[in-house]
């Protein structure tokens, strides 16, 4: 543990990670897990998962493949259950965890194809009750070791909002960072106290202060800036540390990563399902830069033309290539 960590006494830690930074299709999802900890728990959440829990918490890219999001879903269901939420469907579960209300998420959507991203027909849970029970038992064991998981929050940035940001010169890295800031402020409000936010590194950034968005109006002090870790003190909010490979080395970031993977996979499957209504032969696609995704984009082009799907809602564009669009709040 770094000197910066060992000197921190707040009982609230937040693990934050992104899923879907680099794909061609689908949303960027950023997830936060808030925990209340004692001294031993603070060491635990900021260390690599060990023992049996290491098979169920960690880097989502290592633990599960695309399309296999049952583990993240089980964790999401367990966290919701601990908060007293009984979700009967994936849509209800996502709604319980979402940072923003559904009306705000749908606000940018053209009325004639809201169902491109928000059709929930035929969705069912992939995780069984036994898997959820295992995660609940893990939560009990973590609490016995000084870590009480309080909540999970999922922030969704749709393709259209990513493209709108790009039209204003904001890269996906900036959008990711600003969303992490929003989640940190939300956790601060929920906790009623300052928080220690442990975040997965955003892109190749080493210097974050000059790129802050929601935190730009706050005073902050640089505690450390390096390739492995960049950390800042923000009076009234707490601390933010951006950690390289944090989802693999910090338990609380790894848990956020798994829940975020479930949410992104669910939302990406909706995009696929929208097109399959018109062509049942279309195959699954991850949305990333791979041959399967490329074939899906080409094979489904005529569907989007007929359905008048706005290109800005479907495929991401880079900064400098996005057309200027009205600001979407």
Phi, psi of 114 (to 5 degrees): -60, -35
Say whether pLDDT at 271 is over 70. yes
pLDDT confidence of 10, banded at 50, 70, 90? Answer: low
Q: Is the pLDDT of residue 28 over 60?
A: yes
User: 8-270: what fold?
Assistant: Nucleotidyltransferase; domain 5 (3.30.420)
Of 152-166, 194-208, 254-268, the one with minimum mean pLDDT is 194-208
End-to-end CA distance of the chain: 39
- pLDDT more than 70, % of the chain: 91
The helix/strand/coil state of 38 is coil
- What does the pLDDT average to over 141-156? 96
**Res 136: pLDDT:** 96
Interatomic CA distance for residues 21 and 24, integer angstroms: 9
pLDDT by residue (tens digit) across 292-318? 999 999 999 999 999 999 999 999 998
Q: Residue 65 has what pLDDT?
A: 63
Report the pLDDT value the prediction gives residue 181, as an integer from 0 to 100.
98
Asked if the model's pLDDT at residue 129 lies above 90, the reply is yes
Task: Give the pLDDT confidence of 218-245 residue by residue, as tens digits.
Answer: 999 999 999 999 999 999 999 999 999 9
* Pairwise pLDDT comparison (184 vs 327), residue with the higher score: 184
Question: Residue 8: is its pLDDT beyond 90?
Answer: no
Residue 6 pLDDT class (50, 70, 90 cuts): very low
pLDDT tens by residue, 39-95: 999 999 999 988 888 788 866 666 666 557 899 999 999 999 999 998 999 999 999
Query: Judging by DSSP bridges, how do beta strands 221-225 and 229-234 pair with one another?
Result: antiparallel
The pLDDT of residue 285: 95
Please list, in sequence order, all residues whose beta carbon lies within 8 angstroms of the beta carbon of residue 108, skipping any fewer than 6 positions away: 158, 160, 161, 164, 313, 328
Share of the chain above pLDDT 90, in %: 85
pLDDT of residue 38: 94
**Mean pLDDT, the chain, whole residue set:** 91
Helix/strand/coil (H/E/C) assignment for every residue in 144-181: HCCEEEEEEEEEEECHHHHHHHHHCCCCHHHHHHHHHH
Phi first, then psi, for residue 46 (nearest 5°) are -100, 20
Average pLDDT over residues 162-185: 97
Q: Please say if the pLDDT value at position 5 is more than 90.
A: no
Three-class SS state of 318: coil
Q: What is the pLDDT of residue 1?
A: 44
pTM: 0.92
Contact 200, 243 (CB under 8 A): yes
DSSP state of 104: H
């Amino acid at each position: 543990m770094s000197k910066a960590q060992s000197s921190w006494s707040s009982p609230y830690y937040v693990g934050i990670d992104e899923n879907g930074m680099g794909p061609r299709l689908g949303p960027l999802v950023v997830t936060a897990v808030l925990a209340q900890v004692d001294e031993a728990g603070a060491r635990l959440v900021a260390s690599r998962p060990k023992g049996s829990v290491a098979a169920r918490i960690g880097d989502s890219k290592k633990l599960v493949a695309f399309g296999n999001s049952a583990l993240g879903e089980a964790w999401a269901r367990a966290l919701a259950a601990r908060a007293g939420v009984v979700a009967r469907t994936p849509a209800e579960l996502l709604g319980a965890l979402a940072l923003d209300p559904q009306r705000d998420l749908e606000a940018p959507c053209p009325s004639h194809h809201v169902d491109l991203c928000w059709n929930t027909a035929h969705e069912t849970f992939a995780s069984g009750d036994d898997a959820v029970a295992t995660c609940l038992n893990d939560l009990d064991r973590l609490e016995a070791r000084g870590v009480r998981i309080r909540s999970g929050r999922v922030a969704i940035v749709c393709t259209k909002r990513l493209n709108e940001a790009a039209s204003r010169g904001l890269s996906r890295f900036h959008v990711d960072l600003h969303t992490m800031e929003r989640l940190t402020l939300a956790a601060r409000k929920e906790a009623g106290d300052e928080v220690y936010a442990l975040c997965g590194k955003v892109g190749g950034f080493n210097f974050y202060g000059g790129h802050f968005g929601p935190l730009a109006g706050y005073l902050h002090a640089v505690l450390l800036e390096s390739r492995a870790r960049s950390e800042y003190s923000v009076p009234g909010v707490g601390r933010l540390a951006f950690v390289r490979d944090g989802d693999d080395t910090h338990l609380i970031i790894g848990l956020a990563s798994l829940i975020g993977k479930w949410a992104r996979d669910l939302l990406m499957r909706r995009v696929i399902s929208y097109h399959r209504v018109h062509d049942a032969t279309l195959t699954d696609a991850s949305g990333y830069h791979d041959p399967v995704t490329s074939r899906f984009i080409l094979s489904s082009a005529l569907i989007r033309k007929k359905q008048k799907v706005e290109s800005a809602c479907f495929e991401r564009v880079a900064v400098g290539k996005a057309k200027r669009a009205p600001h979407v709040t």
